Amino acid sequence: MAKKPSKKPSSNTIAKNKTARFEFAIHDEYEAGMSLQGWEVKAIRDGKVNMTESYVFLRNGEAFISGLTITPLNAACTHVVADPTRTRKLLLNRREIDKLAGAVNRDGETIVALSMYWKASFVKLKIGTARGKKLHDKRADTKARDWQRDKARIMKSSNR
């Protein structure tokens, strides 16, 4: 009997926005689908995504993401003019859009893109409502992260 080839479990994460967690205090998180073209899906599968400058805005009761760069592949499609930074529509429920609009208008929060990942065969985007951090908050986060790293090193060396 032949063995089945062992597949290494791969991560579903396509891209993360690490600066968003550093620059903002995230309150609520939502999962949104994206309206994509065929060449964009091929480029995403190849990992050609940059989401550091991306932000989400609401217009006419719909959510859009801007600043998300998907670099087109050279051989993907020749008859379509690819715009790497086009504004893409996010697919959310009406209730979620209303909550986001309330957080933006009433509480003065902003909506940031946190990560992009695969869910089955669909590309999903994790977005969150956030408020900007002050400089002392960033310093405290950096100090806590450094202490956790040093604590792990101390515990590792004491176990030997």
Please state, in angstroms and rounded to a whole number, the distance separating the CA atoms of residues 82 and 94.
Answer: 30
Could you tell me which of 24, 29, 15, 27 has the C-alpha nearest to residue 141? 24
Residue 115 has pLDDT above 70, yes or no: yes
Can you spell out the DSSP letters for 52-118? TT-EEEEETTEEEEES-EEPPPTTS-SSS---TT--EEEE--HHHHHHHHHHHHHH--EEEEEEEEE
pTM here is 0.75
pLDDT in tens, 72-92: 888 756 677 788 888 999 999
Domains of the chain listed by start with CATH number: 13-133 (2.40.280.10)
Neighbours of 78 (CB within 10 A): 7
- Which residues, in sequence order, are CB contacts of 74 under 8 Å at separation 6+? none
pLDDT in tens, 42-78: 889 888 899 888 889 999 999 999 999 998 888 756 6
* Mean predicted lDDT score pLDDT of the chain: 86
Residue 1 has pLDDT above 60, yes or no: no
The pLDDT value recorded for residue 5 is 56
Residue 28 has pLDDT above 70, yes or no: yes
The pLDDT value recorded for residue 32 is 94
